[in-house]
């Protein structure tokens, strides 16, 4: 069975989902002790890393050496390859001995196990009383399969080169010189569009012109326009003041329209009737969690329009505290 996952070890670390931090906090709240956890079928350690935020030591085991080569390092996680030939007594000793484990976790893997053998070992290893085993998986991945056709438009040909293909999405570059009539015809004609979406972009638009075209295109009755953006990146109480300092240094270089984003779109002109999302006359607020490495977080900062403007020549210099964090 190990060879099944050896071939796609690198794909797993990029393609498989991570789990919310709240999930691990809930599991930790179930165990009175937090000395040792065992993550079984750990793969690249996605679950082990989350568990390690709550336990002094985590042992992550897997039969696949290829998967473990991509395991994410953590000072409290010890990764071990368990061969198919290991005896039950050897495994119990390797993990920590009988009655030693506070939490056993199995993420998207238990269906591959020899269950009687696995459960017998868990029974020996779990601390009594108080030990907990948590098993979970995922299924039915749904990727916004709600419309027969989607037209995605952008003025940037460079951005569209990276557009993700989908059988029901048609990408179009709309030049600055396109007329309103040409645009309406290109999309589908008047009274043809069920939903207009704008993600982290409407603050750059010629709003009167855009809203006039939306009014022509939306199906009546029943058409909906949804605009949203994101702001206020929150990392941790110790890191956030440093991030604010960096953000403040970029303020002179932002386009004035960015103030709509800084205001959470509350000041954005919006001449359409509310459909009930959010409080009265205010946008709906959502938290959007995302796990990023430091390099990925750096790329996020480098993508800010205030940083990439050629005229600004902003040099990103990270405080030493960031590297420590």
For the chain, domain boundaries: 8-136, 178-307
242 CB-contact burial (10 Å; exposed 0-12 / middle 13-18 / buried 19+): middle
Sign of the alpha-carbon dihedral angle for 62, 63, 67, 69 = positive
Where in 2-137 does DSSP place strands (E)? Answer: 36-40, 57-62, 77-81, 103-107, 132-136
pLDDT given for residue 280 in this prediction: 55
pLDDT given for residue 320 in this prediction: 52
Q: What are the tens digits of pLDDT across the range 129-172?
A: 999 999 987 654 433 457 888 999 999 888 888 888 888 888 99
Task: Tell whether omega for the bond before 241 is within 30 degrees of 0, i.e. cis.
Answer: no
How is residue 95 written in tokens? Answer: 């993990």
pLDDT tens, residue order, the chain (325 aa): 434 333 343 444 444 456 778 889 999 999 999 999 999 999 889 899 999 999 999 999 999 888 898 888 999 999 999 988 999 999 999 999 999 999 999 987 888 888 999 999 999 999 999 999 999 876 544 334 578 889 999 998 888 888 888 888 889 999 989 999 999 999 999 999 999 998 888 888 999 999 999 999 999 988 999 888 877 778 888 888 888 888 888 888 777 888 888 888 888 888 888 765 555 556 777 777 777 777 777 777 777 777 766 444 444 455 555 545 4
Q: Find out whether 41 and 107 touch, Cβ atoms under 8 Å.
A: yes
pLDDT given for residue 309 in this prediction: 61
How is residue 268 written in tokens? Answer: 């954005």
Q: Determine the Cα–Cα distance for residues 101 and 148; give it in Å rounded to an integer.
A: 51
* Angle, helices 88-95/115-125, rounded to nearest 10 degrees: 40
pLDDT given for residue 10 in this prediction: 42
Task: Tell whether omega for the bond before 136 is within 30 degrees of 0, i.e. cis.
Answer: no
pLDDT given for residue 140 in this prediction: 43
pLDDT given for residue 142 in this prediction: 36
Q: What are the tens digits of pLDDT across the range 201-242?
A: 888 899 999 999 999 999 998 899 988 887 777 888 888 888
Q: Is the pTM of this model over 0.85?
A: no
Q: What phi and psi, each to the nearest 5 degrees, are found at residue 225?
A: -115, 135
**Do the domains 178-307 and 8-136 match in fold?**
yes
Q: Which CATH superfamily is domain 8-136 in?
A: Vaccinia Virus protein VP39 (3.40.50.150)
- 3-state SS, 305-325, equals HHHHCCCCCCCCCCCHHHHHC
Domain 178-307 falls under CATH 3.50.50.60: no
């Amino acid at each position: 069975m190990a060879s099944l996952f050896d071939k796609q070890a690198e794909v797993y670390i990029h393609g498989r989902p991570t789990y919310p931090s709240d999930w691990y906090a809930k599991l930790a709240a179930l165990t009175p002790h937090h000395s040792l956890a065992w993550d079984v079928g750990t793969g690249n350690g996605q679950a082990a890393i989350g568990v390690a935020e709550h336990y002094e030591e985590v042992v992550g085991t897997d039969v696949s050496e290829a998967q473990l080569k991509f395991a994410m390092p953590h000072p409290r996680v010890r990764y071990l390859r368990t061969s198919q030939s290991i005896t039950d007594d050897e495994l119990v000793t390797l993990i920590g001995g009988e009655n030693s484990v506070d939490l056993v976790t199995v993420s998207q893997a238990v269906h591959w196990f020899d269950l009687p053998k696995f459960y017998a070992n868990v029974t020996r290893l779990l601390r009594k009383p108080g030990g907990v085993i948590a098993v979970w998986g995922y299924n039915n991945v749904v990727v916004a399969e709600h419309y027969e056709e989607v037209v995605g438009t952008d003025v940037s040909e460079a951005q569209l080169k990276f557009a993700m293909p989908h059988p029901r999405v048609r990408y179009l570059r709309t030049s600055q010189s396109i007329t309103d009539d040409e645009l309406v015809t290109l999309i589908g004609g008047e009274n043809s569009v069920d939903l207009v979406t704008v993600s982290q972009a409407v603050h750059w638009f010629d709003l009167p012109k855009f809203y006039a075209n939306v009014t022509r295109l939306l199906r009546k009755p029943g058409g909906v326009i949804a605009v949203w953006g994101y702001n206020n990146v929150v990392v941790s109480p110790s890191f956030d003041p440093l991030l604010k300092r960096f953000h403040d240094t970029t303020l002179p270089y932002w386009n004035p329209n960015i103030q709509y984003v800084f205001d959470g779109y509350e000041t954005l002109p919006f001449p359409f009737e509310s459909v009930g999302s959010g409080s009265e006359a205010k946008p709906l607020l959502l938290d959007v969690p995302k796990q990023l490495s430091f390099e990925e977080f750096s790329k996020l900062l480098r993508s800010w329009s205030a940083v990439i403007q050629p005229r600004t020549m902003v040099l990103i210099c990270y405080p030493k505290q960031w590297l420590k964090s």
